[in-house]
Amino acid sequence: MYDVVIIGAGPAGLSAAIACREWDLHVIVIDEFPKPGGRLLGQLHQEPSGEWWNGIEETKNLLDKAKEYNTEIQCGTSVHNVEKTSNGFSVHTNKGMFYGENLLIASGAAETAAPIPGWTLPGVMSIGAAQVMTNVHRVRVGKKGIVAGVNVLSAAIARELQIAGVELHSMALPAANSVTKNESDPKKVMDGLVRIAHLAPSPFLRFGSKFAKAAWVRDIAVKFYPKGGVKMWGMPIHIRKAIVSINGTEQVESVTICNVTPDGEPVPGSEKTVEVDFVCIAGGLYPLAELASVIGCPFQYIEELGGHIPVHNEQMETPVNGMFVAGNITGIESAKVARAQGKLAGLSIVKHRIKDLADINDKVHEALNEVKETREKASIQFHPGINEGREKVNKAFNDYQQTT
């Protein structure tokens, strides 16, 4: 019986484990990936300050700290069920059962599919898969590609691919259908595009970013969006062009692109073929929260956080006694925020596990402030209104507590 079982060895899970081990709790971290680090392993980008964020180095720092406290980490372990018991939790995995008095789920996020005709061809992959293949496994994903989907995630990873020497023709919208209605809407995409203007400033985006909340300015920006796209790092980003099909016999050979109206409707007769050998589909991220659902944790759909979120309070505690959450399962944010949340969750578990512990309330409060400060300073925001989303989920927790 562990004091706490942590599911997920990403920045949130590792930070939580370190915080728990500092107070000598008996901890195990399990993860299905062969290496600890989670999404950190694939991240490599330059901050607006000029500093480089190297996910592999950040992972090494966390692992060094975890090893200093003799933290037990078991990778290659897939969790397929979790049960609440009278004295804690039973975690079912491919390597047997793990038992914990407390449970932290830091399972991260998954990518949303954006189906395009031809997307089952070899050479079509999610943008996250391209990131892992390039930065983790050092595998070249192709000679020349195109990105279907314009958002914060695709912009950041596209730059990482360029740094690795991968040629990208451009970024464009996916074809409009019932699944991609938001991703194929130029006006909604423009809302997100202006939020990444600081990553690769252009006069057009700098103008838009100052007035992002004004719908009339957004509409004008979309209407007069340059036909050649707005270039970031020399790569055109199009929101008035859409990839309507991926072509090839045995693998990707080309894509068909057409112009679209400001409302995202295809312009007849504007089709053009672009030769590429791979396509990255970027439909965005959503919280990977199935395990929390299995246990019976209540959920709330909060658009500002990326989807259905396990109800939890500011200290990362859920209504299920002894169960905590941290990282992207609580809402899509940066790895820095996830790391800070993990520390906060770890200290909250310590507070829950060891009663009447001196100074623990102060340390939890400090960690909570650290999460808020990290969020405010984040160079990348995946969703607008993140603070409003956090207030909604905290209110949902309080409402649930009052009704049970």
- Cα–Cα distance, 289 to 340 (Å, whole number): 19
Neighbouring residues of 107: CB distance < 8 A, sequence distance ≥ 6: 7, 8, 288, 289, 291, 327, 329
Distances, alpha carbon 245 to alpha carbons 176, 237, 253, in Å:
11, 18, 11
Among the residue ranges 21-35, 117-131, 327-341, 370-384, the one predicted with the least confidence is: 370-384
Residue closest to 138 by CA, chosen among 237, 42, 219, 13? 42
pLDDT-derived band of residue 205, with 50, 70 and 90 as boundaries?
very low
Give exposure, 168-196, as e/b (b: 16+ Cβ within 10 Å): bbbbbbbbbeebbeebbbbbbbbbbbbbb
User: Domain spanning 2-110+286-403 has what CATH number?
Assistant: 3.50.50.60
Span 283-300, average pLDDT: 94
Looking at the chain, the whole-number percentage of residues with pLDDT higher than 70 is: 93
Return the pLDDT at 356: 79
Residue type, position 15, single letter: S
Q: What is the DSSP string of 9-52?
A: -SHHHHHHHHHHHTTT--EEEE-SSSSTTGGGGG-EEE-TTS-E
- Give the model's pLDDT for residue 208: 45
DSSP code of residue 401: H
Higher pLDDT, 385 or 128: 128
Write the secondary structure of 365-380 as one string of H (helix), E (strand) and C (coil): HHHHHHHHHHHHHCCC
Question: So what's the pLDDT on residue 291?
Answer: 95
Per the model's pLDDT, the better-predicted residue between 130 and 211 turns out to be: 130
| CATH superfamily assigned to domain 113-283 | FAD/NAD(P)-binding domain (3.50.50.60)
In the predicted model, what is the mean pLDDT of residues 35-45?
Answer: 86
Q: Which residue has the higher pLDDT, 50 or 84?
A: 84
Burial category of 345 from C-beta neighbours within 10 Å (exposed 0-12, middle 13-18, buried 19 and up) = buried
pLDDT for 24: 95
Structure tokens at 119: 């997307």
Which residue do the tokens 């929260």 mark? 289
Q: What integer pLDDT is reported at residue 178 of this predicted model?
A: 87
Query: Quick one: angle between helices 203-210 and 186-193, nearest 10?
Result: 90
Query: Would you state the pLDDT for residue 232?
Result: 80
What's the pLDDT at 214? 54
Q: Kindly indicate the confidence band of residue 195, based on its pLDDT and cuts at 50, 70 and 90.
A: low
Q: What is the residue extent of each domain of the chain?
A: 2-110+286-403, 113-283
Residue appearing with tokens 């909250």? 348
φ/ψ of residue 19, rounded to 5: -60, -40
Mean pLDDT of 194-206: 52
- The torsion angle over the Cα atoms of residues 157, 336, 345 and 20, rounded to 10 degrees, is 110
Domains 2-110+286-403 and 113-283 in one fold = yes
Name the range with the highest mean pLDDT among 132-141, 192-201, 251-260: 251-260
Residue 197 has pLDDT above 70, yes or no: no
